[in-house]
Copies of this chain bind each other. A is one copy, B any other.
């Protein structure tokens, strides 16, 4: 804790300064920060250029790292959106007067210090800082080394704005990128109240295994779409294709198609025609492989066991033919990462059963799993999509950055 401790002590000390900032001043701070970012675009782009130069052109992370004028404007817009969201602190969840005259209230209060460990996306830096300030929290940010110049510049601008509003600059701190500091963060029980990892499955798994601080996992999505035999097949093919190809690199994209045997031939022929246009590589089980071979699908592999329960994040998916809904539900139970799962069916009873039985953060009837998103669901800026069950599940945002506190007022009561 040698390197981290002084920084975390400063973060703790800043909690009071942030917690007592009025709603009005929070909003004013975020709006001024939006203007400051736009005004400082040349400095941000110059810092971003230093990071971009160190990254190979072929690196898929390069696009995530890249800032330009439009993206800076979008960061500023996001700040204005967050300023306009209702303040989640101070809600009275429960209020009662006991027989002995004690008044007991449960209210929502800031979490305290939020730790976020993430990779190369500089928008996370600005979004997390803004969401934490809006909810009265301090944040300690551990971004990736790839984005160090960009993040340093952005946090510098945020701290200038904090100073201009007489808020302790330790309210938003960028931590050094040494790997050992991540381990220290995960053990800092008295100093960090919650840790949110955002990034690769390896990062999230590492945090889950090593953290003594409570974690909200924002996890991998191994998403299934089950096409049941009563489905309208053109509808099903359109939904499945959208779920796979509209943005394959995100967690709510389709990974596995399950299809009833009775309609497999017809559905896979339709899909073969639509997926081929996107060069989607299909890992097919024996039955699907036969059908797709007969349909002369060009990007076809025989599925191995490892191709199920796999998050592809690419123009790839697996296909399995199932005997019936029981087999589909059993497959999902076994392989789902409990993120987003869908059924395509005209059987209303079966659809409702699927919604009830499938244990996932978001469950769908007759729609694309791609809708699992805090913005789409109307939450405002999203922090992540939780695949655990404690505190937050599915897309979560500002309203989950609080905890509860019991406040008891008496005039001498004893028990």
Instruction: Check A407 for interface membership: any CB of B closer than 8 A.
Output: yes
Q: Are A98 and B376 in contact (CB under 8 A)?
A: yes
Tell me the bound Cα distance from A410 to B104 in angstroms.
43
Residues of B within 8 A of A408 (CB): 362-365, 367, 371
Tell me the bound Cα distance from A243 to B413 in angstroms.
10
Q: Are B365 and A405 in contact (CB under 8 A)?
A: no
Say which residue of B208, B243, B359, B366 sits within 8 Å of A112 (CB atoms). Answer: B359
Residues of B within 8 A of A407 (CB): 355, 362-363
Q: Are A371 and B415 in contact (CB under 8 A)?
A: yes
Instruction: Check A32 for interface membership: any CB of B closer than 8 A.
Output: no
Residues of B within 8 A of A193 (CB): 389
Residues of B within 8 A of A406 (CB): 361-363, 372, 377, 393-395
Instruction: Check A390 for interface membership: any CB of B closer than 8 A.
Output: yes
Within 8 A of B (CB), among A360-415: 360-368, 370-372, 376-378, 388-395, 403-415
Q: A216-B390, A376-B98 are in contact. Are A368 and B413 (CB under 8 A)?
A: yes
Q: Are A371 and B212 in contact (CB under 8 A)?
A: no
Binding site for B on A (CB under 8 A): 12, 15-16, 19-20, 96, 98, 102, 104, 106, 111-112, 189, 193-194, 208-209, 212, 214-216, 232, 235, 238-239, 242-243, 246, 333, 351, 355-357, 359-368, 370-372, 376-378, 388-395, 403-415
Q: List 9 A-B contacts (CB under 8 A).
A: A15-B359, A208-B212, A214-B215, A214-B389, A239-B412, A239-B413, A366-B412, A390-B391, A394-B406
